[in-house]
Structure 1
Amino acid sequence: MKTRVLLIATPFVLAAVLAAATLPGSAASAAAESGGITVVGTASVVSVPDRAELSFGVESQGKTAKAALAANAAEMRKVLAAVRAAGGTDVKTQSVSLSPRYNETNEVQAFVAVNSIAATIKDLSKAGALIDAAVGAGANQVYGPLLSRGDQTELYRQALGTAVANARASAQVLATAANLSLGRVTAIVEGGGAPQPLPYAADKAMALDSTPIEPGTQQTTASVSVTFSVS
């Protein structure tokens, strides 16, 4: 797993530290100690998604509202069974709707019922087969996939720890340049980060007889603002 690092030190911090270094003796130490050095450290962890969330919908039409709903329910029951049989988990209904369809003269021509569900597949290599199973059972709407990692929290914490280390390294450079000694951490403010997709060439192709799903990669980033005392 690759880790990419970005270090940021704001210009005004460097200027303040260098200015403090020009003061004589204890005056320089006191000025530096009162403000310290504040830097921002960031780090990223690149990973390959290992799960996907997909949405499947069934749209049915009938001459009456009751007929449209009945036809839709029958089709959706087949889709639900197929999705679960293909490895779909955390299956849940997203929406159910029923509306009239009008013709050119603004008369009700038919009723349209739509039912959509979401399901998660925890083995990404089977995502294409899940789509095929749902469509084969009667789904005529497919949305997604929303790709993610099962260990997203651990990846973020890894990036967070590296971000703190990067902040210390950046602060050390500033302190050395200003002829100061870097002290203890006096404050830490956690930033944030969300997985970002990156281009990726798959190591192996998905099954040739199912809908292809390329996982790509995602970048989990963490950032922290850290203040160090100096003397």
Structure 2
Amino acid sequence: MRSMTALVMMATAAVPAVAAAQVQVPTAMVVPDGTVLDVMATGRTTRTPDVATVRAGVVTQDATAATALSQNAQRMAAVIRALKAAGIADRDIATSNVGLSPQYRYADNQPPVITGYQASNTVSVTFRDVKKAGPVLDALVRSGANQVDGPAMSLADPDAALDEARSDAVARARARATLYARAAGLNVARIVSIEEAGENDGGRPQPPVMMRVSAMAQRDSSTVVMAGETDVTATVRVRFLLK
């Protein structure tokens, strides 16, 4: 009885090991009856950006760090008030950088000497109406902002445009596969697999046009921000079976 019990226990203990070994065995790849063709294609569609993001801030300098920070805080508070007065919601104003760094004077064969401190505070501002970006930037400068970067254009809802680009990518892949099949004296039998290989939701377009009208030429000059157009793209890798 003891021998039979030992044998049963050994058989039971061996089952998980066998199962684990079976899981680790790779499945053999099934080779289709025909010629396999892999095609990578990028589809695209064009949209006009409807969101602009700008970084605006204040840079101040003083002999002491405390004074530089204090002056910076006062001017930045005025910038925030100007943004809210222009109708920018709190959710569209986000602090992106706060910094304080010493300023040095360098001379030959001498150690650097601290001459003062520079304080900076930058906010990222999202404009959900691109046309309002220019006038608001002017208001920011009047309120004390002395550093402006951008704008970066994007789409508020890129999903529909991305779907168009995906459909275009598959159509381009099929057209290319048909071309190769005809050149080889074959026909496209079916699609074996489709894999997404990347996308651009319109948030990385070419730099938009931003210009300042000369105050000498026009008294009521203002900053003009032009949205232009952006490409929304999707790339797919499609495997075809040719016969």
TM-score (norm: length of structure 1): 0.73
Q: Hey, what does 2:234 align to over in structure 1? A: 222
Determine the structure 2 residue equivalent to 1:25. Answer: none
- Residue 212 of structure 1 aligns with an amino acid whose one-letter code is V
For 1:83 and 1:199, how far apart are their aligned partners in 2? 24
Segments ≥4 residues shifted beyond 6 Å: none
Confirm or deny that 1:197 pairs with 2:209: no
CA distance in 2, matches of 1:124, 1:114: 26
Distance 1:170 1:63, change over 3 A: closer
SS at match of 1:73: helix
Amino acid at match of 2:147: Q
The Cα of 1:136 is off from its aligned counterpart by 1.3
Q: Aligned runs of 1:1-231 on 2, under 5 Å? A: 33-89=33-89, 90-102=92-104, 107-194=113-200, 195=202, 197=205, 209-231=221-243
Alpha-carbon distance, 1:167 to partner: 1.4
Name the larger-Rg structure: 2
- State the AA in 1 paired with 2:194: I
1:104 deviates by: 6.9
2:18 maps to what in 1?
Answer: none
Alpha-carbon distance between aligned partners in 2 of 1:50 and 1:103, rounded to the nearest angstrom: 46
Q: Using the alignment, how far apart are the partners of 2:70 and 2:242 within structure 1?
A: 74
Aligned CA RMSD, in angstroms, stands at 2.7
Q: Could you list the runs of 5+ residues in structure 1 that have no partner in the other structure?
A: 1-30, 202-207
Distance 1:76 1:228, change over 3 A: same
Determine what percentage of the aligned residue pairs are the same residue.
Answer: 37
Q: 2:151 is aligned with what amino acid?
A: P
Q: CA deviation at 1:170?
A: 2.4
Q: 1:36 to 1:57 in 2, by over 3 A?
A: same
CA drift at 1:111: 2.6
CA distance in 1, matches of 2:235, 2:39: 11
Task: Report the number of matched residues.
Answer: 195
Q: 1:87 & 1:152 partners in 2: Cα distance?
A: 25
Q: Secondary structure at the match of 1:110?
A: strand
Q: What do the CA deviations read for 1:53-83 (whole angstroms, capped 9, x no partner)?
A: 1011111233422222111111111111212
**Counterpart in the other structure of 1:12:** none
Q: Classify 1:81/1:183 alpha carbon distance in 2 versus 1 (closer, same or farther; 3 Å).
A: same
